[in-house]
Amino acid sequence: MRRSQFLVTTAAFAGASAPAIAQPNLTTVGLGLTSKTANEWAEYVADQLGFFAANGIKVDFVYTGSSAAGAQQLTAGSLEISEVSSTQVIEAIQGSAPITVVVEHGTKAPYLLLGKKGITSLAALKGKTIIVGGPNDITRVFMDKVLASANLKPDDYTYTYAGATTERFAALANGGVDAAILFPPFSYRAAGMGYPVLADISNFFPSFLFDGFAVRPDWAKAHSDVLVRFIKGYLQGVRWLNDPANKARAVQILSATTNSPQDDAVQTYDLFVTKLHDFSSTGVPSNATFNPVIEALVRIGQLTAPAPPASKFFDTSYVLAANAQLKARR
């Protein structure tokens, strides 16, 4: 498998709290990410500002193209850790995949639905083609509810699929679809290009666990120290990102990493950090955050009632250990 690696630096940038001195021998961890969007922002911060390295970790970023592919590669042992959407991880575990969520990652649904130029309402999507992440993707869950709010029935539109926001953005820009559900900063780029915003998904799902870091329990048990050190570096990145004093540098990191205009990155910061508080500073998954996802899957028939308990899908032991060590370090 080809893995694209980012250089690690331990330099302290303006506004950043300097991490501890990096260990000379770094343990490489393969981390599956769907694509380069704002959802991966804290990981890029932790990497580029040296928080991973300060905890003895070198992250090998692997772009899987979809949440389903991330879950599959994790299950097959090609990755040590992968971000997987909450709906996908539930589906995978229900299908006997040996994975579990160990860190709560994105906690909101900051998507926008954008239409082809000339389409200005949800009702105008009748008879049109809409691109989402996949047949069982979390974006499909979101879109089903949004379209139903406009009294559109499943037979009124056609779904087509692409797992990564970057691919869905390209499909909209190339005229291949009539509407696309996009993640920032690409949603803002499309809006800036004149594509009309048809819906703000966060208005329909004000509290919904988007995704988490998943691992194989056997790997986690055998490499608990590595996993805890990875989580510590990630959480330091989250806490740095959530500090308003670091906004300018955070915007620069997102803009450069996703090749996005500065203005789009600023809007993304204002949405993610200021408005939605998307990244949990503790990363601890819970029944409270998983239950709305389970209830949504039952409503659309992807889970059969009675649904399994939320605790089936996550393990808090590693993230709690990471939080305890970070607290003790203060």
Q: Show which of 204, 236, 264 is a domain's final residue.
A: 204
Same domain, 198 and 248: no
* pLDDT, tens digit, 9 for 90 and up, residues 139-185: 999 999 999 999 999 999 999 999 899 999 999 999 999 999 999 99
Q: How far apart are CA 266 and CA 139, in angstroms?
A: 24
Q: What is the pLDDT of residues 211-221, one digit of tens each?
A: 999 999 999 99
321 and 179 inside one domain:
no
Asked if residues 242 and 154 have their Cβ atoms less than 8 Å apart, the reply is no
Residue 160's region, left for phi above 0, alpha for psi from -120 to 50, else beta, is beta
The CA distance from 231 to 223, in Å, is 12
Is residue 97 domain-shared with residue 82, that is, in the same domain? Answer: yes
Query: Does position 49 have pLDDT exceeding 90, yes or no?
Result: yes
**Residue 21 pLDDT greater than 70, yes or no:** no
Q: Do 282 and 307 belong to one domain?
A: yes
Same domain, 53 and 176: no
**Distance, CA of 185 to CA of 36 (rounded, Å):** 10
Residue 19 is predicted with a pLDDT of: 53
- Is it the case that residue 20 has pLDDT exceeding 60? no
Q: Which of 110, 91, 85 is nearest to 297 (CA)?
A: 91
Beta-carbon neighbour count of residue 76 at 10 Å? 10
Q: Which domain holds residue 117?
A: 112-204
Quote the number of domains for the chain: 2
* Of residues 280, 110, 278, 80, the one with CA closest to residue 182: 110
Q: 92 or 207: whose pLDDT is higher?
A: 92
DSSP per residue, 157-169: SEEEE-SSHHHHH
- How far is the C-alpha of 224 from the C-alpha of 229, rounded, in Å? 9
Verify that 295 and 323 share a domain, yes or no: yes
Residue closest to 290 by CA, chosen among 319, 314, 310, 316: 310
State the Cα–Cα distance between residues 184 and 178, nearest whole angstrom.
19
What confidence score (pLDDT) does residue 97 get? 97
Are 158 and 178 found together in one domain?
Answer: yes
Q: What are phi and psi of 323, to 5 degrees?
A: -60, -40
Q: Which residues pair with 85 in a beta bridge?
A: 211
Nearest CA-CA partner of 196 in 119, 128, 109: 119
Residues 127 and 107: their CA atoms lie apart, in Å, by 33
Contacts of 93 (CB under 8 A, 6+ apart): 99, 100, 312, 313
The answer to whether residue 13 sits within a structural domain is: no
Choosing from 184, 204, 224, the residue where a domain stops is: 204
**Under a CB-based contact definition with an 8 Å cutoff, are residues 201 and 113 in contact?**
yes
CA distance 215 to 20: 26
Span between the terminal Cα atoms of the chain, in Å: 39
pLDDT tier for residue 301 given thresholds of 50, 70 and 90: confident
What pLDDT sits at residue 23? 53
Domain contains 60: yes
Measured CA to CA, the distance from residue 247 to residue 240 in angstroms comes to 9
What confidence tens digit (pLDDT) does each residue in 231-281 have? 999 999 999 999 999 999 999 999 999 999 999 999 999 999 999 899 999
Note whether residue 223 is domain-resident.
yes
For residue 226, what are its two tokens?
């590595």
- Residue 11 covered by a domain: no
Residue 10 is assigned to a structural domain of this protein:
no
Q: Which residue has the tokens 């961890």?
A: 29
> pTM value?
0.85
Name every residue whose Cβ is closer than 8 Å to that of residue 330 and which is 6 or more positions away in sequence.
none
53: number of CA atoms within 13 Å, CB side?
18
pLDDT confidence band for 5 (50 / 70 / 90)? very low
CATH assignment of the domain containing 135: 3.40.190.10
Q: How buried is 173 (Cβ within 10 angstroms: 0-12 exposed, 13-18 middle, 19+ buried)? A: middle
* Residues 103 and 157 both lie in one domain: no
Q: What is the pLDDT of residue 207?
A: 81
Read off the pLDDT of each residue in 115-127 and give the average, rounded to a whole number. Answer: 97
Residue 7: inside a domain, yes or no?
A: no
Does residue 305 sit in helix, strand or coil?
A: coil
Residues 146, 84, single domain; the answer is no
Do 96 and 159 have their domain in common? Answer: no
